[in-house]
Amino acid sequence: MRRQVPSPRERGFRTTTQDLVKHVLVLCFLAMCCVTMQSIPHLQNALDASCCSHDIPILSTAASGVIVVPRVSPKKATKPSCLQHLPFQVNASRVKLNQSNSLLSQPWTQHCGRLRRSWNNYELLSPLAIQIQQHQSTCSAELSTFHVDNAFGLGSHLYMWSQAVCNAQESGHRVRTHNPVWLWMDQAYCDADTAALSPLLCYFPQAEFRCGLDELQRIQRMEQASTLSLPSSSLPSQPQPQLQLQRNVSNPRQEHLRCQKIRNDPAYLTEFRAAAMEYLFHRISPVIIQEAQRQVGLLFGGATAVPKDLIAVHIRYGDKFWEMDLAPASEYTDAVTALLHRSGRNNRTAAIYLSTEDPRAVDEFLKAAEPGWEVYVDRTVTELNDYRPVKGNRASWTTRNTKGRAGLVALGSLLVAMEANDFVLTTKSNWSRLMNELRKNVLDPRCGNCTRMIDLRPGEW
């Protein structure tokens, strides 16, 4: 093939053009590097657009401390967003599963739900909740460590945390929870390095560390060096306490070690725990809210919000018979009827959210319910039943099998239940008591005492 030789003028033009292109490419490369270094979260969001976590602020650790990296959603801000969980392998070593399936694949809906009530930043109202916030924000107070175990249910762990707060306050300390492998922490969404600081950071990022990134950085350095405190010369110029991480909160499970006010006054115990839950939930992680939105979309089909007159019924069966006389399903349905009569509604129709993790409770309630009632069953049952033990309740086994996913699903389910105005509960159960405390301390003060509750098994421990 014959090639035409370019003239000297053409060769000069080509050389100039090539040099110009090279300069443009170099400038583009430098600009791209700058954008990449400063906008990695936004670029990563574009890559993750088809994944499950593009709406979730990721809390990650770095050499400079703990950094909150907001991932910007590609969806319009006016549309509700929800999670799209990716399938993952579950653990099946502890119990024999009901089925041989070892892959947890949860449904997702294009109709993401909407919550009427806000949980991402509400104002604290009760004096005790405000006191807890002020104390946890007192940066001159030393940190005491609450070592949470991996036994018992999620509700029990939250109440032990409230007791630890009271115990620490009595000593003039702030609380910092410790358990890097907390079983209720969803391993798909919770960062392991952050969990080493506190497992609560994943779900309740404002509960414990309220004194800035510098304190977290110092804790990281101290623990990495396996030392108890840092020399004053290495601290910032502004006055800050020497961190004493060897201090431990007295065991919250031991009644004789509880803070004096709670030991002396049972009424104070009830009031303080309710205030602690008000404080704990006043700013929760978006991952919980988006999980609740996912569940609302699945539960109510094309509707993006829950029914206006929803009644929440919580049933705790399983191994709870050791602690209380289990109420039969007929007592729950009679209580629903009583609530309907109180509000002047027809007993033949009702929208009920059945909050439970026990498939037996679902079967018995559906058999006892009126034919016209619409019963919406907790996604904890419909999605995680295959990963429960064959016998007993053992909620902690379920969450261990699902690598903590049961904890996230349970908290999302809790927000769905708190969309109701009427509740049927058994407050000898920690989860029912949690619902009731959020009802009294969060819902009622903001809606003019609009809620009602029937307690079939009152109690406190």
Q: What would you report as the CA-atom Rg of the chain, rounded to the nearest whole angstrom? A: 27
**3-state class percentages of the chain: helix first, strand second, coil last, to nearest 5:** 45, 10, 45
Residue 222 identity (one-letter amino acid): M
Distance CA 311, CA 245 (A): 45
Q: What pLDDT score was predicted for residue 383?
A: 94
Domain ranges of the chain: 32-72, 127-280, 306-455
Distance CA 450, CA 402 (A): 37
Distance CA 328, CA 203 (A): 34
Q: What pLDDT score was predicted for residue 151?
A: 85
Distance CA 294, CA 386 (A): 20
Distance CA 301, CA 447 (A): 27
Q: What pLDDT score was predicted for residue 51?
A: 31
- Cβ-in-10-Å burial (0-12, 13-18, 19+) of 384 comes to buried
Q: What pLDDT score was predicted for residue 249?
A: 84
Backbone angles phi, psi at 215, to 5 degrees: -65, -40
Q: What pLDDT score was predicted for residue 23?
A: 59
- Pick one of 3.40.50.11350, 1.10.510.10, 3.40.309.10, 3.90.105.10 as the CATH number of 306-455: 3.40.50.11350
Q: Within 10 A of 147 (CB to CB), how many other CB atoms are there? A: 11
Q: What pLDDT score was predicted for residue 158?
A: 95
Q: What pLDDT score was predicted for residue 180?
A: 93
The pTM (predicted TM-score) of the whole model is 0.78
Question: Which residue positions in the chain have pLDDT lower than 50?
Answer: 1-11, 13, 30-78, 227-244, 321-322
